[in-house]
Amino acid sequence: MSRPKILVFASGTKTGGGSGFRRLVEESTKLGGNLAADIIGVVSNHLNGGVKRIADEVGVPFYFFDNARNATGRQYQYFVSTLGAEWVALSGWLKLVKGLNPATTFNIHPGPLPKFGGPGMYGHHVHEAVMAAFGRGELTHSAVSMHFVDQEYDHGNLFFKLPVEIEPDDTPDSLGARVNKQEHVWQSFITDLVVHRHIRLTRAGNLIVPAWYRQMPFCPLTAIK
């Protein structure tokens, strides 16, 4: 049986980033890895940035998205159709995705959704906002979130929300490091559940998960029908 084909979109930076993409590749290729799928390529909006460097190191085809800031749905669809991708995983992709199927497109986000999402809410900005809310006594935990992708930033059906406790002496940097560590621990495992349709979105927009998943602390029960 052929393995699901995943195309990853990962912005990274001009000099670094892309660690989530690297972990997905590692788990999909190593013996006993928890992602039984093929990473068929990675797309970045930086021509020679950190994602390109990782792609070269791990032997995954790299594709430059030259007009990502003002891209149309047709441009996103071109990547998916031309490369034969069955799934699209956003892993640190900072641009608004357009024109893709929400049932086969999903994102990982370094904070609690829906409150700490939307335009401009990525990376360090999320951790700063979470720490500010913690200082006001509004929350005690950050989170790693995963969701299906619709036409709005960080808005689609939420299917994973792992609490990450905030410590009294945390800074945005220290909190971000712990959130990132949990992203690396969980992203490939949850991705495997999605691409093998254990977690899925119906045509009616209902979220379906296994019975055991509903009992897990990372299952956002309020989002599940």
Residue positions annotated with a catalytic role: 109
β-pair type (207-208, 38-44):
unpaired
The C-alpha atoms of residue 138 and residue 195 are separated, in whole angstroms, by 35
Q: 83: buried, middle or exposed (CB in 10 Å: 19+, 13-18, 0-12)? A: middle
137: left (phi over 0), alpha (psi -120 to 50) or beta: left
